[in-house]
Amino acid sequence: MTGELAIIAAILVPLIGAFLIAASHRHPNQREAATLVTATALFILVASLLSPVLAGQRPETTLWEIIPGISISLQAEPLGMVFALIASFLWIVTSVYSIGYMRGHHEKNQTRFYVCFAIALSSAIGVAFAGNMLTLFIFYEVLTLSTYPLVTHHGTDEARRGGRTYLGLLLFTSIAFQLLAMVWTWSVAGTLDFTPGGILAEHASPVVFATLFVLYMFGIGKAALMPFHRWLPAAMVAPTPVSALLHAVAVVKAGVFSVLKVTIYIFGVDSLARIGGSDIILYVAATTTILASIIALRQNNLKRRLAYSTISQLSYVVMAATLVNDFGILGGTLHVAMHAFGKITLFFCAGAILVAAHKTEVSQLNGIGRAMPWTMTAFTIGALSMIGLPPTAGFISKWYILLGALEADAMIIVGVLVLSTLLNAGYFLPIVYSAFFREPDTPAKHGEAPKTMVGAIGLCAGGTVLLFLFPGQILALAHMLIGNVP
């Protein structure tokens, strides 16, 4: 299969899977088998593109030319490969986990859940392989719409309120800021194609250049910059596998991926460094990092604590991009991958605790590590990665972001990284301590969650360590973004 066909197939396969899942709604085993087969097929297709991209090829295809110069186009390039590999691999793991969770928690509307999940992954792959800003925008919006039924899955008043906040903020930022920036870009540059070195520097004045950058960064609402972050904690009303999708597999990763994509291919790192325009967003991201961490400290609900942790961690990627130097781009790209594995581990653990122990609050977790040692050991690994300690993957990406801040002589950002790391430790380590070293409030009458859930948790926790030990492929792709082939 050619690279061009593989890209198209990677978008179509989840859609075909969604149809097969819907057709199997009366047969749960067949439905879940279709989910697993589809997820595996998607990963194989995406992985088949890795060698050509590492060899310097850029498979691309145009699906539809709307007007001359405006088309729906797809291309596999290093940054997109990072996102696509993460999303496709973690879909397999999330599918395995979801089977145990949805059955163990006796969730309703399971077929709709799996169908929407498949459509969301198709749109995420479309975002990853978008060849221009219009294509990215279309798939980005489909991702928003396809995840809305997942956020409102329970159908309660609380779920509908959370869904309205989720949909309202994401659509508002896209239409009010991102779409405006896109039209403005076309009017001044005459193209929306993603081009190494950017497309705006020779066509926009410094004021227009800086204004467009601000519009894009706030328009990419899935990156959850304050004050447009409330959709993310509001979406915690969803089932835990959906939270994992939102925080690790697709939605927020589509946000920070788009931040990096726009920075590298619309503005150009060198042009941003020369002309300026990124400072406002750099300090917004720094503020978001600290404030979200402080709010996380005050959350007793485990999923809400993890949600605000995600907001903080996403801003690491935005800060890294707006440092506009090579180390920043390396650190931001790596953090997309490293955060995915660490955070999905933590959300999986939260879901396992809910299914096995029926507990949702941090204050209820005293001694739970004795009843659920595998789950809480994995939680510890995920927490260490969020803090940025070896031997976990988060250490590597934070290291490069710190080097980027030092290279930019941005000592305020160095201070933000140090303070946020301490805050991360402040809201994660007490959970670990309580789980293993405090006496349970009541004798535990439960053990671990279903084996499929524990297996998925272990795989993600193991991946967090393996990415620390063997970061070679992700590093190679990241180096290609700055013109280096290690």
pLDDT in tens, 325-346: 999 999 999 999 999 999 999 9
Q: What's the pLDDT band for 104 if we cut at 50, 70, 90?
A: low
What b-and-e string marks burial along 364-375, b requiring 16 or more CB atoms within 10 Å of the CB? Answer: bbbbbbebbebb
- Tell me the mean pLDDT in the region 89-104: 84
The rounded percent of the chain whose pLDDT value lies above 90 is: 67
Kindly tell me if the per-residue pLDDT of 63 is higher than 60: yes
In angstroms, the CA 210 to CA 234 distance is 31
Give the pLDDT of residue 388: 94
Give the pLDDT of residue 124: 94
Give the pLDDT of residue 75: 95
Kindly tell me if the per-residue pLDDT of 457 is higher than 90: yes
Kindly tell me if the per-residue pLDDT of 269 is higher than 70: yes
At 358-408, the pLDDT tens digits run 899 999 999 999 999 999 999 999 999 999 999 999 999 999 999 999 999
Kindly tell me if the per-residue pLDDT of 486 is higher than 50: no
Kindly tell me if the per-residue pLDDT of 154 is higher than 80: no
